[in-house]
Amino acid sequence: MQWYERLNEYFPEHEMKDPGQFRALIEDKDVYHKEETEDYLLLYAEFETFLFIDYLLIHPNTRGKGIGTKVLNKLKEKGKTILLEVEPVDEQDEDTVRRARFYDKNGFVEADRIKYEREDQNGEPYEMIVYYWSPDGVPQREILENMAKACREIHNFRSHRFYGREVANPDEVLTWKH
């Protein structure tokens, strides 16, 4: 599973899924897909009305050459809302700044009415930001419902087997900001 090592080298440990959970998602969950080329690695779920990008990794040698935009445009052609999670911008961490700028440039919007906070294996909380793109301009309440579905069906898929717990109970990790 060389692609797993590629992801593991780039993404923070607390954001990574167990290799067994990845295998189960890819093999047993019809909505979950993996696309891998020399230039990028994409893991996503395609539901009836929306897509959830679980991981998008552009090979370091091809970053800045439009590969990521091409991948996103290919997904946009499906005509569905697209959701993804991004670390909050930390001005001291250029990767977080670049990532947010990349999604902004590609028409994604921060779901600023949704607070999304999970816990790592040690029970330490960490925040993620939900970004979305929609061909129809959907309300953020719908984004919240879709994100809850992604938590239930992707993040929590067989999570008790791999982590001994539910890792993203939507009633606990997603909050509507008033």
Per-residue pLDDT at 1: 59
Whose structure tokens read 């309440």?
Answer: 141
Q: pLDDT in tens for each of the 178 residues of the chain?
A: 599 999 998 888 889 999 999 999 999 999 999 999 999 999 999 999 999 999 999 998 888 899 999 999 999 999 999 999 999 988 888 888 888 999 999 999 999 999 999 998 888 899 999 999 999 889 999 999 999 999 999 999 999 999 999 999 999 999 999 7
Asked if residue 130 lies in contact with residue 110, where contact means CB atoms within 8 angstroms, the answer is: yes
**Distance between CA atoms of residues 15 and 5, nearest Å:** 14
Chain CA centroid to CA 4, Å:
15
Report if pTM > 0.85.
yes
